[in-house]
Each structure stands twice: as structure tokens, then as C-alpha cells.
Chains A and B, each alone.
Chain A
Amino acid sequence: MIESREHQEAPVSADVSSALSELARISATAPVGTVAAELAALALNALPAVAVCLAVVERERVLHLEIIGGAPAFVLDERQYPPGFGPCLDAARDGQVVIIDDTTVGKYEQFRELIQRHGVRRVVSLPLPLPLPSPTARTGLGSLTIYGGEVRLRPGAHGDGQARVLASAASVVLADALRYNAAVLTAQQLEQAMRSRAAIEQAKGMIMFRDRCSADEAFAWLSSLSSTSNRKLRDIATMMVHEAST
């Protein structure tokens, strides 16, 4: 059952308020898994929930799945469910709110039975949107799913509103962490590429001395060795250079 947008009237609860200020303490330079775990813990603490699931996705692939709270059996069951199925992942992938409760039929009916075994009466999965809309990205950052023990009498009761506020704020923190971690990876690739390039030129220099040839001829020698030995040119150069550095 997909919920339509409702008008938010209730003020932010004290628990959520305090969680929002706690968000500032989460370091965006920590690994993404750590950030996801901290966000999930904050949400579990601030919202009426038996358990919380924070999913981080990238191009339809699940990067991290943090499930926190609830009985250990519940957590285990959630993980054993067929991959890709489940409100966590659907909300993340489709960018739509997913709500599962006693009235749910169809796609999530099986899921409803599973969670009720563990005293969960209602599941709300909120997508975590990208802070700035992107024409190229098809999904948001992930989703925040709240497994609640209480029954809501009508859809869009203000409890969901509190979760939405937290989800919005969590999106920003998550986006920062993803961006930072991606930048670290990129910088490592840059360093590696520069090192390779330097090694290729250094190897050429060594060959230029050995064979009394030009830079182009040295490169041709390396290329030829690369083809015949079926190794990447930069790997050959790196090895030559490494041997010369002892």
C-alpha cells in the first residue's frame, strides 16, 4: 500500500528533536557502514519502533543494510528473505513510501505474516532522497524503515511525520558520508594513476640509458614486451622501477 502525501501538523517530538541534534555529531568522514549504523541507532532511540532498518543503495545495488533492534530471530528472518524483496529495498529503489500493516494484501502479504510473528504490526519504509535532485541518478540514497509494534488507526498519523523529519535529516548526513567516501576512493585512484605514469616514464628513462635510444623507442620496447608477455605496460614499468629502488 503506497501512502499519499499528508499534511504535517504535529510538532517535532522531543525524542526526534534530540536525535536531530545528535546527527551533528556523526562524522561524515567515517566509513559509510559506520554512519549507517549510527543513523539506525539514532532512529531506533527516537521513534516508537521495535526495530529499524537503514538501507544504503547505489545504482540499485545494496551497499549497506543495517538492521538494529528487535529480537535476534527477527533480524535473522529479515536477512534471509529473498534478496530484493522487502519494503526496505523497494522504498530505496523506487523512492516511494511503503507501508505494510494488518490490511496489506498482495505483494507484501507474505512479508506481513513474517513480521507479525515478531510482534510487528506496522512497517513504514521512507525513502532517503538525494539532497539535490539529479537528472542522472534514478534512485535516492536508500531508505529508513521503521518496524512498529502499535497499530495506526488511520494512515498518515503523525508518528510517520516524525520519522519523515528524521529521514530527511539523515539523508543529508548520509549524502555527506557517501560523497566523502567516494572522494577518498577517487583520490586513491588518482594517486595510483600518477604513480603508474611516473613509473612508465622512469622505466623509459632507464631503457633510454641502457639502449641509448629515444623516449619513443623506449616506449615501443615496453609496448612490445607488454604484448608478447601479455602484461599491462604499467605493470611492467612498475616492476622495473621497483627493482631499481632497492
Chain B
Amino acid sequence: MDVHLRRLARIRALIADEPELPPLPGGANGAAGSRRSAGVGHFGGAPGSLERLCRAAARALTASGVGLSVMTGEGMHGVVAASDATSALVEELQFTVGEGPCVEAVASGRPVLASDLDQMVTQWPAYAPAARECGMRAVFAFPLQIGALRIGAMDIYSNRRGALSVAALNEAFAFAEIALLTVLDGQDQAPAGEAAAVLQDGLSARAELHQAQGLLSAHLRVDLAEAMIQLRAYAFSHDRPLLDVARDVVGRKLDLTPDGPDSDDDHGSANLTLDDR
């Protein structure tokens, strides 16, 4: 128990030492500044602390990158932090295709340790090849959980195949625990009805996704779930990040109505369109 507490303390110090960097591209529409919480919590609940956690973890584990996603019940999910832009992309990929290590770790409540992504193609037919294309060879996902409660997962990426050492596993578990505590602590300090300050950058980055969802739902006269399916299908079949597609829909640069200029009807690919339902 002692060893564990000391490990947690050491990792918190690592995170505190990590320099502050501006939010990743595509993040915070200036929302981060206005939402900075007045008090700093026990685990440093300031916006940016989860990014620092990801970078500190990548450094400590000599990983290519680390991503953090929150997944609550009812499918509310998304990337909230990552150590770098590539990790953010690969992290987001899971939500575009609906499968991947984080998704599985949260579903099972156990770590998912894929030391060779080439072996995972049957299990993750959409995710594995796409992650490989981004340069990832191995991925290790740790659920953020306490008891039966799971709120998300932390993904560790490597550009080399191979398992994590026991020491690295212990470090990873500790980072995941601190991530969980940071989110919960941050949520405790949030004003009623609002999400934790540490999550605001990630939520702001997804704002356009939900706007696009609403816009498309009204435009196509379909429900919100269907609208999201269409966005994800388009992103996947055109090999574009979901958030980029959303930005274009919101910016009126992309029209996904059937028979519209950007609809998939003339591409002949197996996507969901209104006619296919």
C-alpha cells in the first residue's frame, strides 16, 4: 500500500512538472480561458492538467503517445485529452468506427493489452488497420474505474510491437488512477450542471460535432442518432477525421443530403443513406 501511495505521489509530481502547452489544434473555441475554475483542486483541476497527464505518461512509459477518453453510460463519449495531435487522431478513430481498445476496456472493465495491432485485425477490422496507418503498432488501454464504476479509459500507444514491462504496467495503472481522480475531483468542483473544468477543452472540441449532428438531423429530417451514424459513415468512408467532417458540415462546406453534391450515392460505397434503411 505504501509503495502504491509513493508511486502516486511521484507521478503527481511528474505531472506537475510537465510544462503547460496550448490546447491541441481543433480544440477550445476560446472556451478554455473563460471556463478556468477559480480554485485549484487537490489534483490540480485546472484545464490542461489532463493533457499534462498524457504527456507525462508518454514520457514516463516511453510511449509514442497517450490518449484519454471519457465514456459515460448512454454513449456519451469522446476524447478529452491527448499527449499530441497524432494520438488525439487515433483516439478519436475509435469513436468514428465504434470499436477499439478504449471502447473494449470500458465495456469489460479490464485493461486491453494489444502488443501487436496486426494480430487484432479480426477483432477490430476497422480500427486496427487505421491505427496502423497512423504509425501505431501496439496499444494498451486502461479503464478509469473504481469498483464497478467506469468513466473512460487511458490509451497508451507505441510505434513498436511488444508488451509492456511489469514496471510500466504498474506505472500505467497509477496514471489511470490519477486520471480518474482528476476527473472526479474536477467534477466535484464544477458548478451545478456543468462538466469539470479539466474536461472543457475536450468538450469544446466536440461542440462542432454535436452542432453538425443537430444541423444534419434537421436537414435530413432524421433523428439525432441517425445523423451521427451518417457523419461517422462519411468520415470513415472518406478517411477523414470525424471532427473535420463536422467542421465542414457546420461551415456549410459539406452537404450530406441524398442527391446533394457530397452524398455518397454516386460513390457506390456501402454507407448508410436514407434509401438504405
- Residues of A at under 8 Å CB distance from B? 28-29, 179-180, 183-184, 186-187, 189-198, 201-210, 215, 232, 234, 241, 244-246
Q: Which of B55-63, B105-113, B123-131, B182-190 is near enough to bind chain A?
A: B182-190
Q: Which of B194, B209, B223 contacts A246 (CB 8 A)?
A: B223
Name B76's closest neighbour in chain A (CB-CB). Answer: A194
Inter-chain contact B187/A190, CB cutoff 8 Å: yes
Q: Which of A193, A195, A198, A205 contacts B250 (CB 8 A)?
A: A205
Inter-chain contact B195/A215, CB cutoff 8 Å: no
Inter-chain contact A201/B207, CB cutoff 8 Å: yes
Q: Which of B11-19, B214-222, B263-271 is near enough to bind chain A?
A: B214-222
Q: Interface of chain B, helix or strand or loop or mixed?
A: helix
Inter-chain contact A202/B211, CB cutoff 8 Å: yes
Q: List 8 A-B contacts (CB under 8 A).
A: A29-B148, A180-B147, A186-B188, A194-B199, A197-B207, A198-B206, A201-B213, A202-B210
B24 within 8 A of A: no
User: How many Å from the CB of A187 to the closest CB on chain B?
Assistant: 5
User: How many Å from the CB of B157 to the closest CB on chain A?
Assistant: 25
User: How many Å from the CB of B125 to the closest CB on chain A?
Assistant: 28
B208 CB contacts on chain A under 8 angstroms: 201, 215
A209 to B211, CA, bound (A): 10
Q: Which of B162-192 contact A (CB under 8 A)?
A: 183-184, 187-188, 190
Inter-chain contact B149/A205, CB cutoff 8 Å: no
B148 CB contacts on chain A under 8 angstroms: 29
A192 to B192, CA, bound (A): 10
B119 within 8 A of A: no
Inter-chain contact A201/B147, CB cutoff 8 Å: no
Inter-chain contact A208/B147, CB cutoff 8 Å: no
User: How many Å from the CB of B43 to the closest CB on chain A?
Assistant: 13
Inter-chain contact A28/B218, CB cutoff 8 Å: no
A195 CB contacts on chain B under 8 angstroms: 74, 76
A204-B193 CB under 8 A given contacts A180-B147, A183-B149, A209-B219: no
Inter-chain contact B72/A205, CB cutoff 8 Å: no
Inter-chain contact B193/A205, CB cutoff 8 Å: no
A205-B76 CB under 8 A given contacts A29-B148, A187-B149, A244-B218: no
Name A180's closest neighbour in chain B (CB-CB). Answer: B147
User: How many Å from the CB of A120 to the closest CB on chain B?
Assistant: 38
User: How many Å from the CB of A131 to the closest CB on chain B?
Assistant: 11
B70 CB contacts on chain A under 8 angstroms: 190, 194
Number of interface residues of B (CB under 8 A): 39
Question: B32-51 interface mask toward A, CB cutoff 8 Å, 1 = contact, 0 = none?
Answer: 00000000000000000000
User: How many Å from the CB of A6 to the closest CB on chain B?
Assistant: 28
B274 within 8 A of A: no
A241 CB contacts on chain B under 8 angstroms: 214, 224
6 new A-B contacts, CB < 8 A, other than A194-B76, A241-B224, are A183-B147, A186-B187, A187-B184, A194-B72, A215-B207, A245-B223
User: How many Å from the CB of A240 to the closest CB on chain B?
Assistant: 9
Inter-chain contact B190/A193, CB cutoff 8 Å: yes
Q: Which of A190, A201, A208 contacts B72 (CB 8 A)?
A: A190
Name B77's closest neighbour in chain A (CB-CB). Answer: A194
Q: Which of A193, A194, A205, A246 contacts B216 (CB 8 A)?
A: A205
Inter-chain contact A205/B217, CB cutoff 8 Å: yes
B21 within 8 A of A: no
Name B196's closest neighbour in chain A (CB-CB). Answer: A190
Name B223's closest neighbour in chain A (CB-CB). Answer: A245
A197 to B188, CA, bound (A): 17
B73 within 8 A of A: yes
Name A204's closest neighbour in chain B (CB-CB). Answer: B211
B206 CB contacts on chain A under 8 angstroms: 198, 201
Inter-chain contact B217/A202, CB cutoff 8 Å: yes
Inter-chain contact B187/A206, CB cutoff 8 Å: no
